[in-house]
Amino acid sequence: MLDEFVLRARFEPQRPKAGEPATLIASGSVDDMERPFKGEIWYRIVKSELGQEPWQPMALEVEKNGEATFRTSVTLPAGKPYVQFKVKRIYDEQPAELLDWWVPID
């Protein structure tokens, strides 16, 4: 049985600059069984894929059309930071960690 969902993430502004405030936005779609995303999302910004920084919770902002949107304010360092997520749906025993998204920042 499949129950995959899609996690989408983006920044506002689209091309954030190092040291300037930006907003990290993540949303969880409905899954293959037509269930809306219900759960929690945490994030961290690290300098390598093996970062050990603590996870920070993202605040749920809106739920509509089966999609939950989370937002948080961030400040990104220059270089190639990784933006990592930990996602736990209400029916998951363990959270899933998504560790491989990096963003070039000027």
Largest CA distance in the chain: 44
Note down the domain range covering 38: 7-102
87: in domain: yes
Q: What is the pTM of this model?
A: 0.86
Q: Are 37 and 89 in contact (CB under 8 A)?
A: yes
Each residue's pLDDT tens digit, 27-60 = 887 676 777 778 899 999 999 988 889 999 999 9
Domain at 61, CATH number: 2.60.40.10
Tell me which DSSP letter residue 51 carries: -
Query: In the predicted model, what is the mean pLDDT of the chain?
Result: 87
2: in domain: no
- Is pLDDT of 13 > 80? yes
- Is pLDDT of 14 > 60? yes
Q: Domains in the chain: how many in total?
A: 1
Please tell me the predicted confidence (pLDDT) of residue 90: 84
20: in domain: yes
80: in domain: yes
